[in-house]
Structure 1
Amino acid sequence: MSSAKRTVDVLVVGSGHNGLISAAYLAKAGLEVQVLEAYQSPGGMTSTTEVEDCPGYKVNDASIQPSLFRTTTIMKDLQLEEKYGLKMRVIDPVHLQLNYDHTSLGLWRDAQKTADELAYFSKKDAAALKDLYSIIHAAVDIGLPMMQTSPTRPDPRAILELAKQSLKHRSELLAVGRWMRATEIEVLDESFESDPIKACVLIGLPFMSYDSDFSGWSLIYLGIITKYGVAMFEGGTGELPRALIDLITDHGGSIRCNAEVEQMVMRNGRCVGVRLKNGEEIYARRGVLTAFSPKRVLRDMLPPGTLPPHLANRVANIPTRSRGFADMKLDVLTKGQIRMDKIKAKRKDDIDPRLPANGYHNYEQVKAAQIACKRGEMPQHIPGLAQISTALPSNAHFAPPGCDVFWFWSGLTPNDPHMGWEAARKQAAETIISQSDHYYEGIEELQIYSRVRMLPDIEERFFAMDGSVYHTDPLITRFGPNKPAVGFAGYSTPIPGLFLTGSGTHPVAGISGMPGQNAAKTMLKVFRREDRKGRSAAVEEARFWEGVESADAYTGSTPPATS
């Protein structure tokens, strides 16, 4: 995994799941691919790693639920289950809303089961939920085809499917438009009267300001739950990069860690490679694909003057810290087992409430938290999703027998806390652990280790500009041909040989794999087009690469004529 080749067909910079998915498709197409990763181990936000301070414990470093991933053909295309042993387990219900009196509301894959539970709190809301689902399902059917193709050069089949689904759901089109244009709070307040359903939805979807126009679109997640189900990877999230890396290496590719890229190498206006932080240069015959923050790539890693002023201005204005709130992650390791007996006793089924990703704040607390963050204050309540990683049987090895690993993620912490980051980390850990103990019984007493990662820590660990897990702020005005900026939205860029993928590109963040799949398809189309037309200055290019490869084989020196 540490091959140090100096010339390959394609360089992929960044080994998050989107970069690895692109690399897998490209390697399977017969291209020689090398993936460069700045961190000491691959996987990015899909990593599963050991906790150095607590031998015998592992954590999922960031994401845990591949929701939109299940809507794609990636598993089938790459034979990740059949050949590489990647398995997913659908979690059902995927979320529980835990109420202070220890009652709970489950979000089930079966919409009727969710409505039946909701009827306990409000029969009116149960009926309203089914009506809302009919609109959301139409939106999923209409929107998904365009998410799985280039936003600037869409596949004709995607356009045809869009037209087909629009015709099928023509009676819901007005309602879909009305719902998507509204604010998230407007949709919830108009649809429901009971706290559990409103709080449950709001906690898991802090992408935009809740009172922003067009934030209602985020409720489309409810449709993903019911139409496709939301899963976890058996054995930990890190099983996804593990399977992808096995595929890449099987097809002659390689992964190199501790290889931080400092600058793109340009020649005659084309990106031909990268320069590492240690000064080493590595070259790509066909292209360089970056799979991390596009703003960092385009603003900070190109030689000065590469982009014309109007494009450089667009890049400088890619939003990465505009929302006023940011994400954080808390890991808690325990010396015994966390119980949820009080929640379980109030339910009428035999589900394990430790397994779903659960929220436990009420609607007003969630809204107040976002307002506090925008003022630079740490919220009195920090809403988020909590999950016990060791509750999944295949993850039992995450901790010694009888012990647990507690995972908590919040999108509601300030991006510039007045109290400073050290105090904010301390307060976040104390607040979350003490408030969780009411539901996750014993966590406060049993904890032996906790680690908080806030904005600067996420930036440092995952090389994510401004600690943004989205890479480009998820504003509706930045979707499609505007993501990350006009002129850079189709995975290829105005710079020949340089391509983009990752959470900051179309369509979304999270474990979807769509940006990686779309980017690889785009690159293969570009390469075929170049081959058909004949690459410019073919003779000169051949001499250049001959010189590079000769240097690789005999001298190890940097070839001339690069700038």
Structure 2
Amino acid sequence: MTEAVQNTADVIVVGAGHNGLVSAAYLAQAGLDVLVVEASPTIGGMTSTNPFEPEAPGYIINEASMQASLFRTTTIDKDLGLSSKFGLRQTVIDPAHVQLNYDGTSLALWRDPTRTADELRYFSPADAEALIDLYRVIDAAVEIGLPLMQTSPVSPDIKAVLKAAKGMAKNRKELIAIGRWMASSQAEAIEDSFESDAIRAPLTIALPFMPFDADLSGWSLIYLGVLSKYGVSMFHGGTGAFPAALAKSIAANRGRIRTSAPVESLVVTNGRVTGVRLQGGEELYARRAVLTACSPKTTLTRLLPEGTLPRVLQNKADKIPTRRRGIADYKLNVALSGKITMEKHEKWRGDGIDLRLGCNSFNTYQESLDAAKASIRGEVPEHIPGLGHATTSFDQGFAPEGCDIFWFWAGITPSDPRVGWDEAKKQITERVIKDASHYYQGIESLEVARRDLALPDIEERFWAIDGSVYHVDPVISRFGPLKPAEKFAGYHTPVPGLYLTGAGTHPVAGISGMPGQNAARVMLKDFRKQDNGGLTDRVKAAAATENILSARFDKANSAK
């Protein structure tokens, strides 16, 4: 293969996070020549699993994410043969979450709602009945809404529309309740339904998408329906096993991945995106399109050359919200020289559950509300509500024998701390470890090393504007046909040859791959239209443009 051909492809995908890789795998499977470029030395983005070095040699960490919250709702595994051909293994975690109370009691959120309700009766018989009622409404909402999540929000597939309509007809008795629930704030929905802290607390701690008192934020509770119907899984070998399997699928279809290749800008020729320019000046050319899987705001305000978009459209791109909520994400990994224990809580339960396995919450409902308010004021909360997990309870190979890794994620920390980021991060980490040590005994005494990531660190490590794991603030005005912004939804952009995917596109963030799957389907549909119904003509188009691209490549190199 000549150097010029190596630097051209049908489609260039910018970003090897799991959504970018999902898109690339589908495109390569369809016969397109695909090249993925990734800024980091390793693939996976926020699903990366890498050695905990230099802080703790011999330890491995999931750098950001943990549970595959929505992956099992999709057909990605089956479509791409990730489990059957490329070694992906996953196990449903049940219970996926447990609310740990200070007094040693706990409430497990089981996949089976009746099992959760049975436990909840200990705290409140009324809440147990209310939970079953709420699940009935949420399950109906999932049946109606999920098909529309798995298609373009601006030109939905007719099969998805019909499936959603069928779900609506089947659950017509619940439509009023669904509307009431989704229109309310998250706090209102929770307090309307429940009186006990045991169930109120985890429904805020694990789901801090929008301000808890914001109208229309009640929709966040739909996660309960996904948990119940599909179950929440973890990948053997860490979250990084998912992008690793995708990379094998891409390679099997002759796709290519380049790491340590940060994109400096998009190449625009006669108003069309025709490639990318890497840091250092190397240019790569795309025959059909460029798909970016990074933050849409990064693409539209940093990578796209100034003046490409008309003023009004540029203004829409500039105003994509990434820091509007007042709260921000935080991530912590701690390497431990021994095993942490949870004897007090496990003894109370007496059912043999390994409480280290789930992503568990251990703050109160009021502490969550107070933390959100403090964060919006720019203060470091007294308590940092979040989810704790002993990674080595699932993958013992992540640490030396007899040792552990403690993982913690919080979505309620200040986005603009008054004391500055260095001091704020120090305070956040100290408070997390202090609170967690009451539930996970041994964290303080066994610590070998820690890696804590606050907003600036997440931005630097994962190339995410404002350290947003969502890429676009998950406010109600930025969903569906308005995500990431008007005129930029549906994976298309107004710029020919440029498509978007990733957490900042429809439908949501989290480990699902749905944005990547949807984007690939849209692109393939567009390409078939361009080729009058088939992709076979792309070969003729490629041959016609190869000489042009090669000449352009030679000219660019001779000018260096």
- Report the Cα distance in structure 1 between the residues aligned to 2:23 and 2:289, rounded to whole angstroms: 12
Residue number in structure 2 paired with 1:320: 322
**Preserved CA contact (<8 Å) 2:68 2:234:** yes
- Report the Cα distance in structure 2 between the residues aligned to 1:7 and 1:145, rounded to whole angstroms: 36
Residue pairs, 1:76-475, within 5 angstroms: 76-392=78-394, 395-475=395-475
**Partner SS for 2:6:** coil
**Partner SS for 1:532:** coil
**Preserved CA contact (<8 Å) 1:548 1:559:** no
- Report the Cα distance in structure 2 between the residues aligned to 1:374 and 1:410, rounded to whole angstroms: 15
- Report the Cα distance in structure 1 between the residues aligned to 2:351 and 2:313, rounded to whole angstroms: 57
1:332 maps to amino acid = V
Deviations 1:106-127 (A, max 9, x none): 0000100000000000000000
**Preserved CA contact (<8 Å) 2:358 2:389:** yes
- Report the Cα distance in structure 1 between the residues aligned to 2:250 and 2:196, rounded to whole angstroms: 49
Residue number in structure 1 paired with 2:6: 5
- Report the Cα distance in structure 2 between the residues aligned to 1:548 and 1:298, rounded to whole angstroms: 24
**Preserved CA contact (<8 Å) 1:147 1:507:** yes
Which blocks of at least 5 consecutive residues in structure 2 are unaligned? none
RMSD: 1.8
**Partner SS for 1:410:** strand
Q: TM-score, normalised by structure 1?
A: 0.96
**Preserved CA contact (<8 Å) 1:484 1:504:** yes
**Preserved CA contact (<8 Å) 1:46 1:60:** yes
CA displacement at 1:348 relative to structure 2: 3.3
Residue number in structure 1 paired with 2:514: 514
- Report the Cα distance in structure 1 between the residues aligned to 2:154 and 2:552, rounded to whole angstroms: 39
CA displacement at 1:541 relative to structure 2: 9.1
- Report the Cα distance in structure 2 between the residues aligned to 1:67 and 1:204, rounded to whole angstroms: 12
CA displacement at 1:262 relative to structure 2: 1.0
Residue number in structure 1 paired with 2:531: 531
- Range 165-174 or range 418-427, more displaced: 418-427
Deviations 1:462-494 (A, max 9, x none): 000111110110011110000000111010111
Count of residue correspondences: 552
Deviations 1:405-452 (A, max 9, x none): 000000011011111111111111111111111110111111111111
- Report the Cα distance in structure 1 between the residues aligned to 2:39 and 2:406, rounded to whole angstroms: 27
Residue number in structure 1 paired with 2:52: 51
- Report the Cα distance in structure 1 between the residues aligned to 2:39 and 2:108, rounded to whole angstroms: 40
**Preserved CA contact (<8 Å) 2:528 2:534:** no
Deviations 1:275-321 (A, max 9, x none): 11111100010110000110111112112211111111111111000
CA displacement at 1:547 relative to structure 2: 2.8
- Report the Cα distance in structure 2 between the residues aligned to 1:98 and 1:232, rounded to whole angstroms: 21
**Preserved CA contact (<8 Å) 1:429 1:450:** no
- Range 17-26 or range 256-265, more displaced: 256-265
**Preserved CA contact (<8 Å) 2:469 2:503:** yes
**Preserved CA contact (<8 Å) 1:503 1:510:** yes
Identity rate of aligned residues, in percent? 57
1:44 maps to amino acid = G
**Preserved CA contact (<8 Å) 1:90 1:231:** yes
Residue number in structure 2 paired with 1:547: 548
- Change in CA separation of 1:199 and 1:159 when aligned onto 2, cut-off 3 Å: same
- Report the Cα distance in structure 1 between the residues aligned to 2:533 and 2:134, rounded to whole angstroms: 50
1:87 maps to amino acid = R
2:411 maps to amino acid = G
1:135 maps to amino acid = V
CA displacement at 1:549 relative to structure 2: 2.8
CA displacement at 1:350 relative to structure 2: 1.1
- Report the Cα distance in structure 2 between the residues aligned to 1:150 and 1:211, rounded to whole angstroms: 30
2:10 maps to amino acid = D
- Report the Cα distance in structure 1 between the residues aligned to 2:141 and 2:545, rounded to whole angstroms: 50
1:528 maps to amino acid = R
**Preserved CA contact (<8 Å) 1:264 1:271:** yes
1:181 maps to amino acid = A
